[in-house]
Amino acid sequence: MKLIPIALILSVCLTPAVATAQETAPEVDEAPSLMERGARLFMRGIMEEMGPTLKELEGLAQDVSPAMKNFARNMGPALRDLMTEVEDWSVYDAPEILPNGDILIRRKPDAAPMDRPLKDGEIDL
pLDDT at 98 over 90: yes
Is 81 or 41 the better-scoring residue by pLDDT?
Answer: 41
Q: Is the pTM of this model over 0.85?
A: no
Helices (H) and strands (E) in the chain, counts: 2, 2
Give the phi and the psi of residue 107 in degrees, each rounded to 5. -75, 145
Q: Which amino acid is at 92?
A: Y
pLDDT at 11 over 90: no
pLDDT at site 14: 60
The mean pLDDT value for 96-121 works out to 83
| 3-state DSSP assignment of residue 11 | helix
What average pLDDT does the chain have? 79
CA dist., res. 32 & res. 34, Å (int)? 7
pLDDT at 4 over 90: no
CB 32 within 8 A of CB 39: no
CA 71 vs CA 14, 79, 104: distances in Å: 77, 11, 20
CB 124 within 8 A of CB 118: yes
Task: Please classify residue 107 by burial: count the beta carbons closer than 10 Å to its beta carbon, then call 0-12 exposed, 13-18 middle and 19+ buried.
Answer: middle
Q: Determine the distance from the C-alpha atom of residue 92 to the mean position of all C-alpha atoms in its chain, rounded to a whole number.
A: 27
